[in-house]
A and B are shown apart, each in its own frame.
Chain A
Amino acid sequence: MAEPLLEVTDLSVDYLTEASSVRAVDQVNFTVQAGEFLGIVGESGCGKSTLLFGVSQLLSPPGEVAGGSVIFRGRDMVRMSGEELRGLRWRDYSIVMQSAMNALNPMKSIGAQFKDTLEAHGSLSTEEIQHRSAEVLGLVGIDPAHLGSYPHQLSGGMRQRAMIAMALLFTPQLVLMDEPTSALDVVAQRSLMSKIKELQESLGFAVIFVTHDMSVVSRYSDRVLVMYAGQIAEAAPTDDIFRHPLHPYTRGLMEAVPSVRGPRRELVGIPGSPPDLARPPTGCRFHPRCPEVMPVCPSHEPDLIAVGDAEVRCLLYVQQAKQAV
Chain B
Amino acid sequence: MATDAASSTAIAEAPEGADIEVRAEPRRFTRAVLHNRKAMTGAVILLVMVFVALFPGLIAPYDPQAIVGPPNASSSSAHLLGTTQLGQDVLSQLIWGTRLTLWVTLVVSLIATFISMIIGVTAAYIGGFTDRVLTVFTDVFLILPVLPLLILLSAYLKPGVTSLIIVLTITSWAFQARQLRSQGLSVRNRDFLVAARVRGERPLYIILVEIVPTMTSLLAASFLALAVFEVGFAASLQFLGLGNSSELMWGTMLYNAQQAAALESGNALWALAPGGAVALMGAGFALVNYAFDEIGNPALRPMRRRKRRGRASA
Contact = CB atoms under 8 A, between A and B. Distances in A.
22 contacts: A17-B298, A18-B301, A18-B302, A42-B6, A43-B6, A44-B10, A60-B314, A62-B303, A62-B304, A79-B309, A80-B311, A83-B312, A213-B3, A213-B5, A213-B7, A214-B3, A215-B3, A215-B5, A256-B6, A269-B9, A273-B9, A273-B11
B6 A61 contact: no
Given A82-B312, A273-B9, 17 more contacts: A16-B303, A16-B304, A18-B304, A42-B6, A43-B9, A44-B11, A44-B13, A80-B311, A81-B310, A81-B311, A82-B313, A82-B314, A212-B6, A215-B5, A256-B6, A269-B9, A274-B10
A144 interface: no
A258 interface: yes
Interface in B1-42: 1-11, 13, 35
State the majority secondary structure of interface residues on B. Answer: loop
Given A18-B302, A19-B35, A44-B13, A253 B6 contact: yes
Contact of B5 (A44, A62, A64, A254): A254
B202 interface: no
Interface string A269-286: 110011000000000000
Nearest to A256: B5
A143 B10 CA distance: 39
Nearest to B35: A19
A78 interface: yes
Interface residues of A, number: 33
Interface of B: 1-11, 13, 35, 298, 301-306, 309-314
A270 B301 contact: no
B5 to A, nearest CB: 4
A269 B298 CA distance: 33
B34 to A, nearest CB: 12
A252 interface: yes
Contacts of B13: 44
A110 interface: no
Nearest to B306: A64
A203 interface: no
A302 interface: no
A81 B312 contact: yes
Given A16-B304, A257-B3, A212 B310 contact: no
Nearest to B3: A215
Interface of A: 16-19, 41-45, 60-62, 64, 78-83, 212-215, 252-254, 256-258, 269-270, 273-274
B9 A82 contact: no
Nearest to A80: B311
Contacts of A80: 311
Given A81-B311, A83-B312, A43 B10 contact: yes
Contact of B301 (A17, A83, A215): A17
A17 B7 CA distance: 27
Given A16-B306, A43-B10, A273-B9, A212 B4 contact: yes
A45 B302 contact: no
Contacts of A79: 309-311
Contacts of A18: 301-304
A120 to B, nearest CB: 15
Contacts of B4: 212-213
A61 B303 contact: yes
Contacts of A214: 3, 5-6
